[in-house]
Amino acid sequence: MPKLFGREPAIFLALAASVIKLLAAFVIDLSVDQQAVLNTVAAAVVGVLVAFIAVRDGQVAALLGLAQAALAAAVGFGLDMSAEDQAVLLSFVSVVLGMFERTQITAPMPADDVPTGEL
């Protein structure tokens, strides 16, 4: 899979979606519906790109994109949640997904091939 600055492209797409959300919440004067549409589209694009780009290591990014899209859609449909509360909720989701991801990572070499540190 092609890498961007040594990282999976999904991480940069997730960052772009988060920046758009922050700009919509604090810089650009948009209605709640406009923010929800913008955030949903950005998160959906990230999810689609991750689905096509990621082979094995993109599950967490795709799930986080789905969570972002679901939250943005909920706000668009009337959920009264501040931008700060949304950030806290998505941070929690990110940590939970990170805990799951940790259990899914395999070492690049078998444990018996790892040097023991003995000289």
pTM: 0.53
At 18-67, the pLDDT tens digits run 777 788 778 887 777 776 677 677 766 666 666 656 555 667 777 788 88
Q: How confident is the model at residue 100 (pLDDT cuts 50, 70, 90)?
A: confident
Mean pLDDT of 98-114: 69
Check residue 28 and give its pLDDT: 80
Q: For the chain, what's the residue count? A: 119
Distance spanning both ends of the chain, measured CA to CA? 37
Closest CA to 39 of 60, 59, 64, 58: 64
Closest CA to 62 of 45, 87, 40, 74: 45
Cα 33–chain centre separation: 22
Q: Tell me the two tokens of residue 56.
A: 């094995």
